[in-house]
A and B are shown apart, each in its own frame.
Chain A
Amino acid sequence: MARALCANCKTERAVIKRPKNHAKLCKGCFIQVFEDEVHHTITSSQLFHPGEKIAIGASGGKDSTVLASVLKTLNERHGYGLELVLLSIDEGIKGYRDDSLETVRRNAVQYDMPLKIVGYDELYGWTMDQVVETIGKKGNCTYCGVFRRQALDRGAKMLGIKHVVTGHNADDVAETVLMNLLRGDLARLSRSTSIVTGDSRSEVKRSKPLKYSYEKEIVLYAHHKKLDYFSTECIYSPEAFRGSARALVKQLERVRPTAILDIVRSGEDAARLVPGEEPSSCACLGQKAAAGVVVDDDVGGCGSQSGRTPGGEMAAMDKQLRDNEAHEGLEIDVTKTMAKGAVARGEKRDVPIRTGNASKGAPRQVLGNCKRCGYMSSQEICQACMLLEGLNKNRAKIQI
């Protein structure tokens, strides 16, 4: 049983069948092709400019470790002229980050990159342990989630860096696309597919150079390059919609491996069909629409939804939608009996769905900046600053 030869060099034995296009490649060619494709993404989307300082959001996990390795390689090979820095976040949960931060420290040596570990205490004046002490175990996930969302941006700002790259891969993006379709969230659908997020209003730009890379290939790359990463998966279950979308993506991939990229493509195309969005497919124009808070971090750590029962999110939304329907029905009956004609019959339909934390329904959010910290926010004071205000009041009380 002779193994097939590599489709690329036609000399070595093929050891990999790429999920992306079924091509059979040898180890060397696979590594080369993987890197070439990331390079292609970087150049065609014009992600970087020479001399730019880039913070790599590093968790010690496979995605961010591969990202750091590939960026180092490409930066040297193609002379990007980038100054690469590893940026890690320490939530300040005793013992929780030890192993992953140890991995990141080793990566810093292996890749010869400066490493900055920023703690929640530096960023917010509170470690998660202190938050838990103050407000108790219940509800602290809200804090962790909100804080984590901003941590990389705030950390980069502290370092004077304006561009953070994260290890989001094609599977993550596909999952987000299906999740937003499932949740009927067009605003987020239009943002989530963009390779760059953040615009002139945000001080820190974010991008995902591995957006078109399959998770499976990232694992293969890490394996064949013998990269040092921390392989424990996040212990917290994702919120219901994401978890459901993730399971669905996995099934689709089994039926048709190209489905992951096909979903990414659908997401990009559908994003341009969201009412009010520009029809242009140009990446640079897309950035405006893409402004927004990036929630789907791969930085690991405390999932903001961990306190919930599985399915809670979906159940809550289902109930809310049903209430809306009932309300709508009532409205029509009332207007009928009052013989007032079609007052507000149509408008009621688009009422944004509010379901506790899951309130992502508003079709068009007006984004501005937090008056206190300057972070992008649809409110005057951003969520993190609101939470901090509450915490600080508590601290004051305790100290008195």
Chain B
Amino acid sequence: MTESKSNQAALTRPCVKCRAQEATLDSRSQPVCRDCFVKFISTKFIKQIDILGKKTRPAAGPSSGSSSGGPPTLTRRYLLGLSFGVSSTVLLHVLSENLESQLAKGRTAPFDLIVVHVDASSSLSREGADNSEAAAAAAEAVLNRYRARYPRFTFHNVPLSSSSSSTQSGNDSSEDALSLLSSSTTAPPTAASQSDLRAHRIRRILLASAARHNCQALLLGHSTTALAELTLAEAAKGRGFALPWLVGDGPAPPAPPSSGPQQPQVLVHHPLREALRKELVTYASLITDPSPLTDLISEPMRPGGDGTGSAEGTTTVVSYRDLSIEDVMTRYFAEVEASYPSVVANVARTAGKLVRRGGSGRDEEAAAAAAACELCGMPRDEDGDKRWRGELGIQEEGEQGTEGFAGQLRGRLCYGCERSVGG
């Protein structure tokens, strides 16, 4: 007792965790030192990656659901969605640290990691075709810097315009909703709709890549804050039914039949789900060896629009017309996070408790797959659709847009995607 007292006496503001070093940071309203903060973040990460590790134990019995084709995986194989933003870059870094520390102890690598960046700089419609080559080159240059820093991992750059699913098998279903949308001359008119469709498209491309690369899980960098934003943003876009699939950890919804042959099930996990966004920003700023981690990070133009959790809010509002629902949520939660961080954490935690249901059948994979939305891939709520039309007399409204793209896809999209496609 006396000993620890004398130790503290030497410090003006001792770290509450180790009591041995000067506190230089505030963590959840407690003064901590740099080392303890870094440990705090990695502890949160390790807890989550261990949970995933248990679910994906290689060859642990019949439950390891990857036996449909190809050789059985002997190592865990994960795919990381990298947006070049803070959160996914930090996730990449802690995954690397984790791997290196295992190797340093003489153990085998706990997982293989494939990193995929979906290049969203080309737009949904084909207006941006001229720029897309330059954009691809720019993305490739950034990726090379990541490659140099994390040589153990494999990196890929996938353009947003790539078909999410059936390319590899050669099974071209011409009715694919995504190709219909990209060939459609009428791009979604508003920033909100474009941002929504882009985010969901990125998610599907990442899932398809994970399946293609025989990965057991897709890892996304979402912080607690990003998950809270996602919860309220998807609710605001009419995807309340899909919330547990989007916000929780677990299997991705079964792919719609139109997306080609049945793919092995992929888990979606968010290993940074217990860290606040501001904590990840702090963490990134503390990693300076061999060079500042922040040098790698380039936030995408549109905060929150990349579906992998991202960006600090950009500052000035141009016009509400140019904002997306995601932008509004990013701004909103930046404020809430500053004053009430635990409220933010509680949002994501609670949304994760909602029960996953698909289609009209209960938890039945086949029913869910049949009722999956052809754009976002989330389960459609057929019961809800029926009732909603009845309640609102929405038919008249729909008739306005029956020609063209929206008409062709009627009954194949979820409520949220119908909204985005229609405007």
Contact = CB atoms under 8 A, between A and B. Distances in A.
Contacts of B349: 184
A315 B192 contact: no
Contact of A40 (B28, B190, B238, B392): B392
Contact of A281 (B192, B234, B387): B387
B19 to A, nearest CB: 16
B170 interface: no
Nearest to B340: A318
A314 B354 contact: no
A181 B351 contact: yes
Interface string B187-209: 00010110000000000000000
Interface in B377-399: 381, 383-384, 386-388, 390-393, 397
A270 interface: yes
Contact of B342 (A244, A255, A321): A321
A192 to B, nearest CB: 13
Interface residues of A, number: 54
A212 B355 CA distance: 26
Interface in B340-399: 340-343, 345-347, 349-351, 353-357, 362, 381, 383-384, 386-388, 390-393, 397
B54 to A, nearest CB: 14
B324 interface: yes
Interface string A14-31: 000000011100000000
Contacts of A23: 397
Contacts of B356: 273
B384 A268 contact: yes
* Main SS class of interface, A: helix
B419 interface: yes
Contacts of B234: 266
B394 to A, nearest CB: 9
A184 B347 contact: yes
A41 interface: yes
Interface stretch (B69-77, B132-140, B240-248): B240-248
A181 B355 contact: no
B391 A40 contact: yes
A22 B396 CA distance: 13
Nearest to B238: A262
Contacts of B334: none
6 contacts: A178-B236, A248-B332, A255-B328, A281-B387, A318-B340, A321-B345
Given A266-B239, A272-B357, A322-B342, 20 more contacts: A23-B397, A178-B232, A183-B343, A255-B327, A256-B192, A256-B236, A259-B236, A262-B237, A265-B240, A266-B235, A266-B241, A268-B387, A270-B241, A270-B354, A279-B383, A281-B384, A281-B387, A311-B339, A315-B339, A321-B342
